[in-house]
Amino acid sequence: MTETRIERHHYDVVVIGAGGAGLRAAIEARLAGKKTAIISKSLFGKAHTVMAEGGAAAAMGNVNPRDNWQVHFRDTMRGGKFLNNFRMAELHAKESPQRIWELETYGALFDRTKDGKISQRNFGGHEYPRLAHVGDRTGLELIRTLQQKIVSLQQEDKRELGDYEARIRVFAETTITELLLDGDRVAGAFGYYRESGEFILFEAPAVVLATGGVGRSYKVTSNSWEYTGDGHALALRAGATLINMEFLQFHPTGMVWPPSVKGILVTESVRGDGGVLKNSEGKRFMFDYVPDVFRKQYADNEAEADRWYKDPDNNRRPPELLPRDEVARAINSEVKAGRGTPAGGVYLDIASRLPAEEIRRRLPSMHHQFKELADVDITKEPMEVGPTCHYVMGGVEVDPDSGAAAGSVRGLFAAGEVSGGMHGSNRLGGNSLSDLLVFGKRAGGHAASYTDQLPTRPKISVAAVEAAVETALAPLQRDTGESPYVLQQDLQAVMGELVGIIRREGELVDALGKLAQLRERVAKVSAAGGRRYNPGWHLALDLRNMLVVSECTAKAALERQESRGGHTREDFPQMDAKWRRVNLVCSLDGDAVRLERKPLPKMRPELISLFDRAELAKYLTDEELAEFDALTEEAGK
Amino acid sequence: MGTKRQFRIWRGDESGGDLQDYAVEVNEGEVVLDVIHRLQATDAPDLACRWNCKAGKCGSCSMEINGKPRLSCMTRMSTFEDDETVTVTPLRTFPVIRDLVTDVSFNYEKARETPAFAPPADVAPGEYRMQQVDVERSQEFRKCIECYLCQNVCHVIRDHEENKPAFSGPRFFIRAAELDMHPLDAKTDRKEYAQSEMGLGFCNITKCCTEVCPEHIKITDNGIIPMKERVVDRRYDPLVWLGSKIFRRGQVPQTSVTSEHHSGAGSAQSGVHSHAGGSHDARSEAQAQKGVNWHRQVPHPTAPPLDANGKLPLTELTFDKAAAPSPFGDDVTFPLPPEHLNFAHPQQDQPKH
């Protein structure tokens, strides 16, 4: 390999990731007049965003006029167990309605209310009906709308400049393996075309990461093959930091049978529309699992719960609509107690609750999916569901307003699932689609203005490119190492068994030992075949990303000695107010993951005053509560 | 618990390839994509195949399974006999990149040529008001997951590379229909555009696209036919006809998009249609030399557009030609090329006994 051909491109902003956040960021950068590239690991329009079913949360108040951003903010903080970056939660609650309305001007067609506005549905953890939706294929609508908006911008450029790709171009089936720096500034990105295996180099002063999550490190996952933590790992290697990596959301209701569809999600709206969870004894068990902090909002008997669907103002909610972690834990406990289904899940029953016609109307793609994939008719029989790895709350530590990555690097931005802080320890359903839009737009806009205030364009060093080429080609040139598929299975086994939904100190220590061994094996991985569309080679390159991100998760999970949201320690089952004030921050020290504690930013007075003292008492330390009391006293004067 | 099943999978690239035999373990409840993944993890680590969601929602894993265009994540192994060999080949209409991966950029080019949603000028964001019943028609088409199976199966471009420049295909006809039916879209010439620039006229409604759609979108009945009908309405509107006679304009009301005479209708007239008119396709010429291919599956003829009285809807007075429209459709010219001389028995699809 003496001569390696590398295709070079110059852009102002390179967006890595073509899901909701990436496309929204690219639109914003292009609208700011920047020459923008979108890197998509799959074909354009196939991103994992299409899988989001329920909807996009935005306090538009179309269904219940009492809804507003303050209520949405409260719900988000509550859902994240107060570990959220309050500023991100605030911006998200304030800006999501505009972001949704904007989509309509791009051509989105949401379901409507009777008076012609965007309809909104109930969802776990949201006080009012808040999720804008299109049947149960909201994610597809979102991605298609953004995709078509990009096409529309390209058509404008074609009219104006004679070339569709004059100012915005999509590089489909392209993977970035390395970010390139000039000192502490981002200078570009290096990667390869999956189709041809040819290398490609982007010279760009600003990069937006929008690569999604890390779920492929787990065996039972709803995530697609793309979710290998690329953005997390790229950020780490470029000198940025990750926060909250111990918090992974296991969606409570993924399909567990048949095996071909294990992990695929059953949307929460099945429960929002009346579906109930039953164990193998036929008992509706969720009433036994309402935690004290939620007693006020959730019913303790079936009669009241059932009335809620018709009259939500005068009844408490059914416990099936508790936040996701509570439901996941409840199912896990039932299964461990031997009351699960043969396949290791529980039953989710909507068939006995609604007429068949109504189920087909409200949950068309759910019905379709089960019929086609599993030959199960959800209007006739219950589904078998269980927890599945779904979403990582943790991610790149960012400035809440601009999405700029923290740490030593400049010119790097992150939005969507790859960024951390917004959702705290647990994300509410529906908050991710609006998160993508709100922070995608912000990251794209700030990346554009960052390039404006740069005095000189950063330069790429030849040595860095050569090193990147060498790393990328290494697995193909070795024939002594192990198969990447075997290594991935082993990694999934470690993460699934030892860093899964319920964690213990001994197992986490064990996991770190096994990950260290895996690291050595991954360094020697070899891939058979050539460079042209070779999935084995692609996986071999993704493995090192999956590995470093898994190490972050395991380390942070071992450090945090409490249970909160998406992190459950069997040896520390309680939430601990002292831990609420701490963010665990991962960075890279050479090759090793370094973990530090960092204080959580303090909520502004007018925001903390939105909560009842009684509620805050469950989360805050005595010291913080005293501060809060002083604050209210002052306000009372 | 698994049993060994026989697979034949096409391996190769644009320079050629062939079917290779594999014996793979198959477990209960699995789909074809599971089997391909098992092959990648065992015998064929570099077997190229696209996939993403594995839940029938992203439309990445399109391929041809036993000759039928399918999503491999939605094709259950239980639909095959235990001793049946399952043959998996790449989509035929698009150039092969490697193994089961094809170059589908044709579709992205056509997407880029289809005019985007035009927001109403005087409605602010947040002020859009639409009734559910009015958005539902467009929503049906927005279910499309862009698996391109309809594009792959469409005989206008399957084996007819020469039609590709002038023909956008079913996926983009429903995109045009979706925008045409959008209650607030400000562009008013979607159907004319589809007719004049997207090659809507090539489609002779064999409904192959509807048949393969994994989302069960009624592409032909709800999308293409209404678009065609409305184009016809406009073309044969007596007032428009009278106007065109008086002012000697073309048949289609001129709008900004219907440029002069464009490739669509032009190449249709030059006779490269798939079922009617002459063919320049070397393969069909060769077949023609050998005589009539009696085993060719002939699509049913398209019924002439009759009105409620069972008559062709137009009198000579309101028609823009000197005689009544041809019951064979305007796109058919005579004499038919020899390879198309074949007979479809009206009951050809019914069981023999």
Query: What whole-number distance in Å separates Cα of residue A237 and Cα of residue A248?
Result: 22
pTM of the model: 0.83
Q: How confident is the model at residue B252 (pLDDT cuts 50, 70, 90)?
A: very low
Calculate mean pLDDT across residues A66-71: 97
CA–CA gap between residue A126 and residue B241 (Å, rounded): 59
Is the predicted pLDDT of residue B267 greater than 50, yes or no?
no
Tell whether A416 lies on the interface with B, counting CB pairs under 8 A. Answer: no
Return the minimum-mean-pLDDT range out of A191-195, A493-497, B205-209, B341-345. Answer: B341-345
Q: Quick one: pLDDT at residue A445?
A: 98
Decide: B85 and B77 in contact? Cβ < 8 Å. Answer: no
pLDDT at A153: 98
- Which whole number is the average pLDDT over A483-508? 92
Structure tokens given for B164: 């590709």
Mean pLDDT confidence for A578-598: 96
Evaluate if residue B235 carries a pLDDT over 90.
no
Domain spanning B105-236 has what CATH number?
Answer: 1.10.1060.10
Read off the pLDDT of each residue in A587-601 and give the average, rounded to a whole number: 95
User: Could B129 and A116 be called an inter-chain contact, meaning their C-beta atoms sit closer than 8 Å?
Assistant: yes
pLDDT of B311 > 80? The answer is no
- At B271 the pLDDT is 35
State the DSSP string of A345-413. -EEEE-TTTS-HHHHHHHSHHHHHHIIIII---TTTS-EEEEEEEEEE--EEEB-TTT-BB-BS-BSEE
* pLDDT tens, position by position, B23-40: 999 987 789 999 999 999
For residue A488, the SS3 value is helix
Task: Tell me which chain A residues have a C-beta less than 8 angstroms from the C-beta of B56.
Answer: 368-369, 372-373
CB atoms within 10 A of CB B343: 8
Would the pLDDT of B291 be above 80? no
- Does residue B277 surpass a pLDDT of 80? no
User: Any residues with CB less than 8 A from the CB of A571 and at least 6 apart, and which?
Assistant: A504, A505, A561
Q: Facing residues of A545 across strands?
A: none
Cβ atoms of A217 and A492 closer than 8 Å: yes
Encode pLDDT of A114-152 as tens digits. Answer: 999 999 999 888 999 999 999 889 999 999 999 999 999
* pLDDT greater than 60 at residue B280: no
The answer to whether A409 touches A234, Cβ cutoff 8 Å, is no
> What is the C-alpha separation between A16 and A14, in angstroms, rounded?
6
Say yes or no for a CB contact (<8 Å) between A529 and B60.
Answer: no
CA nearest neighbour of A267 among A419, A361, A139, A76: A139
Q: Using pLDDT thresholds of 50, 70 and 90, give the confidence band for residue A225.
A: confident
Cross-chain Cβ contact A226/B52 below 8 Å: yes
Tell me whether strands A206-209 and A199-203 are parallel, antiparallel or unpaired: unpaired
Active site residue A569: no
- How much is the average pLDDT of B6-20? 95
A367 is annotated as an active-site residue: no
The predicted structure's pLDDT at residue B254: 40
d(CA A53, CA A67) in angstroms, rounded, equals 22
Cβ <8 Å between B117 and A116 = no
For range B151-170, the mean pLDDT: 94
Strand A120-121 and strand A6-10: the pairing is: unpaired
> Of A332 and B233, which is predicted with more confidence?
A332
Q: Is the pLDDT of residue B331 over 70?
A: no
Any idea which of A18-22, A46-50, A600-604, B288-292 has the lowest mean pLDDT? B288-292
Residue type (1 letter), A296? K
Domain ranges of chain B: 3-101, 105-236
**Residues contacting A221, CB < 8 A, separation 6+:** A215, A227, A263, A388, A389, A390
Residue A151, classed as helix, strand or coil, is helix
- Whether residue A172 contacts residue A100, with contact meaning beta carbons closer than 8 Å, is answered with no
Decide if pLDDT at A108 tops 70: yes
Cα separation of B346 and B185, whole Å?
A: 43
Dihedral sign (CA A535, A537, A538, A542): positive
pLDDT score at B159: 87
Least confident segment among A558-562, B226-230, B232-236? B232-236
Q: What is the pLDDT of residue B326?
A: 64
Provide the pLDDT for residue A264: 80
How confident is residue A164, by pLDDT bands cut at 50, 70 and 90?
very high
Of B104, B126, B139, the CB nearest to A43: B104
Q: Give A199's strand partners.
A: A6, A192
Residue A258 preceded by cis peptide, ω within 30? yes
pLDDT of residue B71: 95
The pLDDT assigned to B313 comes to: 53
- The answer, yes or no, to whether residue B303 has pLDDT greater than 80, is no
Instruction: Give the integer Cα–Cα distance in Å for A171 and A157.
Output: 17
Is the per-residue pLDDT at B348 higher than 80? no
Higher pLDDT, B307 or A400: A400
What is the average per-residue pLDDT within A91-104?
Answer: 98
| pLDDT for residue B241 | 61
With 0-12 / 13-18 / 19 or more C-beta atoms within 10 angstroms meaning exposed / middle / buried, residue A126 is: buried
* Contact residues for B68 (Cβ-Cβ < 8 A; gap 6+): B212
More confident residue, A219 or B224: B224
Instruction: Give me the torsion for CA of A98, A99, A104, A107, rounded to 10°.
Output: 160
Element spanning A471, H or E: helix A462-477
User: For residue range A5-63, what is the model confidence (pLDDT) as tens digits?
Assistant: 999 999 999 999 999 999 999 999 999 999 999 999 999 999 999 988 889 999 999 99
pLDDT in tens, B88-142: 999 999 999 999 999 999 999 999 999 999 999 999 999 999 999 999 999 999 9
pLDDT reading at A223 higher than 90:
no
* Closest by CA position to A85, among listed A410, A412, A427, A321: A427
**Residue A377, phi-psi category: left (phi > 0), alpha (psi -120 to 50), beta (remainder):** beta
Rounded mean pLDDT of A388-393? 92
Q: Does B53 touch chain A (CB under 8 A)?
A: yes
CB spacing of A259 vs B146 below 8 angstroms = no
Of B57, B115, B131, the CB nearest to A140: B57
> Between β-strands B86-89 and B3-13, what pairing exists: parallel, antiparallel or unpaired?
parallel
Cα distance between the two ends of chain A? 77
- What is the average per-residue pLDDT within A195-224? 93
Q: Which amino acid is at B289?
A: Q
Q: Say which residue, B104 or B344, is predicted with more confidence.
A: B104
Residue of B nearest to A476 (CA): B46
Task: Quote the pLDDT of residue B295.
Answer: 59
What is the rounded average pLDDT for all residues in chain A?
Answer: 93
* H or E segment and range at residue A120: strand A120-121
Cβ of A107 within 8 Å of Cβ of B182? The answer is yes
Chain A contact present for B290, CB below 8 A: no
Mean pLDDT for B6-28 is 93
Give the H or E element holding residue A583. strand A582-589
Question: What's the confidence (pLDDT) of residue B256?
Answer: 40
For chain B, what percent of residues have pLDDT higher than 90?
59
Give me the residues of A, 463-492, that contact B with CB < 8 A. Answer: 483-486, 489
% pLDDT > 70, chain A: 99
Query: Nearest-5° angle of CA A44, CA A50, CA A53?
Result: 170
Question: Is there a contact between A208 and A444 (Cβ–Cβ < 8 Å)?
Answer: yes
CA neighbor of A250 nearest in space, from A211, A280, A220? A220
User: A229: which DSSP letter?
Assistant: -
B266 confidence band (pLDDT: 50, 70, 90):
very low
What is the pLDDT confidence band of residue A265, given thresholds at 50, 70 and 90? confident
The catalytic residue among A48, A169, A237, A271 is A271
Strand partners of residue A277: A348
- The class level of CATH for B3-101 reads alpha beta
